[in-house]
Amino acid sequence: MMNTPPFHRGDIVELEVRSFAFEGKSVARVNDFVVFVTKAVPGDRVRARIVTAKRTFAEAVAIEVLEASEHRITPRCPHFGICGGCKWQHVSYEEQLALKRQNVVDSFERIGGFRGVEVRPALGSIDPYFYRNKMEFSFSDRAWLTEADLGREVQSPSFVLGLHPAERFDKVLDINECFLQSPVSNHILSVTRRFFQERNVSVYSNKEHEGHLRYLVIREGKKTGDRMVNLVTLDDRPKLLGEYAEALLAGVPQITTIVNSINTRRAQIAVGERERVPYGPGTITEELGGLKFRISANSFFQTNTLQTEVLYETAVRLAELNGNDVVYDLYSGTGTIGIFVAPRVSRVIGIELVASAVADARENARFNGVTNCDFLEGDLLDLLARSTGWMKTSPKPTVLIIDPPRSGMHPDAVTTAAQMGVDRLVYVGCNPATQARDVKILAELGYQIEVLQPVDMFPHTYHVENVAFLRRK
């Protein structure tokens, strides 16, 4: 083992990039010393600048491609490499899918200790561009300048509307065009920027806790065509809001509702304590599998509508659902999975800790006329305790569908789920590492993996959803 690293911060080195690693970084080796490289693709030969030098590894950023990998492509977005939204636009989409599948394989082998499990090819997004139904842009008076800007000694603009550079939340990159949501959302972005710039409206400063404009959130119904513009501000200015709504509708008539969320707190979140609705119903509607879901400004909804249908259909197919099944939907959120499977089974019981999500789930069920779904609010462990009253009068589950947050499940929750003794269990994971950790416990408690199916919900990022189907031995 080396006592001192072979490189120092600032060194320029030539590297042969071999493979991908965690969080979309690539790996090069110099005499068994590992260098994690950003902006590189396996198969590249690059010149790179060392940005971190540790005793056992270094981190670098590629500054010149000397020999391009066969998997490297030209990024579509002019902001790529600076904006923090996309990490893999320089990688062919076929290779992205292969890498995401390999991420699942590596996690289940390295963390779960599984060997020989069937991991199917990742299911690609129908359209790897313009797939998001929600985008959140930030207003700022602190612009991020590119190296080209700095070379021209450009003065930093005092009004920007866009996205944060990678790992920099103190500044904002002015975005003219983004390929993640839709051309219409880009038009909304430009109309909004021009309107407030012309009126010299102040932007919010967290340090001073003053300034009017905080966030612009755009939501779209990919199936319905509904569009919501949610302007998040520090205070309430009805006259200015009315003028903005008029200008916005004149420039972008496809908008179906406009909301002003007022957030007076220091918390840097695009959520308000109260709302003003100058136009439309204040909500939009989206469809999943023929069902309709009403989405408010603060509702959670999966951000890739078309691929969410693929994800849920995959879960349904693997679970082998039938009309006699009773499904417990753990971490049920706003009820999308539970309501989606409800027409195919006898009963669905969802469990969710967040009160607002449970309220949304119940409303979504009513909105669709679904009567065989119940959504319970509370801690998972408490509600699944065998002494709990509702369990004594409710049918026992035949299938569990589990869709936890990125952090995965608490070990006690995994144990409790296993002790329910269902024959079929579907674990929908958005983090293969924590999913593999939890599935390892399930395997120790009598379950066997039958298949793993990765689903790509977020093209051009390293994130991947993975559906694990387990059967009780």
Q: Tell me, what's the pLDDT at 157?
A: 67
Number of residues written out for the chain:
473
Fold annotation for 1-72: OB fold (Dihydrolipoamide Acetyltransferase, E2P) (2.40.50)
The per-residue DSSP string of 156-225 comes to PPS-EEEEPBTT--S-BEE-S--SSS-HHHHHHHHHHHHHHHHTT--B-BTTTTB-SEEEEEEEE-TTT-
Q: Is 370:342 a contact under the CB 8 Å cutoff?
A: yes
Give the separation between CA 236 and CA 263, rounded to whole angstroms: 9
pLDDT tens-place values along the chain, 473 residues long:
445 678 889 999 999 999 888 777 899 998 889 999 988 999 999 999 999 999 889 999 999 999 999 999 999 998 888 887 888 999 999 999 999 999 999 999 999 999 999 999 999 998 899 999 999 999 998 776 655 443 334 445 678 999 988 767 778 988 889 999 999 999 999 999 999 999 999 999 988 999 999 999 999 999 999 999 999 999 999 999 999 999 999 999 999 999 999 999 998 899 999 999 999 999 999 999 999 999 999 888 999 999 999 999 999 999 999 999 999 999 999 999 999 999 999 999 999 999 989 999 999 999 999 999 999 999 998 888 765 678 778 899 999 999 999 999 999 999 999 999 999 999 999 999 999 999 999 999 999 999 999 999 999 999 999 999 999 99
Q: Take residue 345 and report the two structure tokens written for it.
A: 């089974």
pLDDT of residue 5: 72
Q: Residue 314: in which H helix or E strand, if any?
A: helix 305-319
pTM for the complete prediction?
0.91
Task: Report the C-alpha gap between 306 and 19 in whole angstroms.
Answer: 31
Residues 110, 111, 113, 114, CA torsion sign: negative
Q: Where in the chain do CATH 2.40.50.1070 domains reside?
A: 134-296
Fold adopted by 97-127+300-472: Rossmann fold (3.40.50)
Question: 174 phi and psi, to 5 degrees?
Answer: -65, 120
Q: Nearest Cα to 348, choosing from 386, 304, 316, 311?
A: 316
What confidence score (pLDDT) does residue 151 get?
39
Q: Which runs of E-coded beta strand occur in 54-164?
A: 57-67, 134-140, 160-163
CA 217 – CA 270 distance, rounded (Å): 8
Which pLDDT score, from 0 to 100, does residue 164 have?
Answer: 87
| Residues 281, 279: Cα–Cα separation, whole Å | 7
Both tokens of 120, joined, read 């199917």
Q: How many CB atoms lie within 10 A of CB 2?
A: 10
* 373 catalytic per annotation: no
Cα-Cα-Cα-Cα dihedral sign, residues 140, 142, 145, 151: positive
- For residue 265, give the amino acid letter: R
Query: For the chain, where do the domains classified as CATH 2.40.50.140 start and end?
Result: 1-72
CA proximity to 471, closest of 418, 408, 396: 418
CA distance 349 to 67: 55
Note the CATH number of domain 134-296. 2.40.50.1070
Select from 219, 220, 222, 249 the least CA-distant residue to 232: 219
| β-bridge pairing 291-296 and 283-288 | antiparallel
Predicted local confidence at residue 440, as pLDDT: 98
- The residue annotated as part of the active site, out of 83, 178, 373, 430, is 430
215 forms bridges with which residues in the sheet?
138, 232
* CATH 3.40.50.150 residue window(s) in the chain: 97-127+300-472
Please report the pLDDT score of residue 1 as a whole number.
47
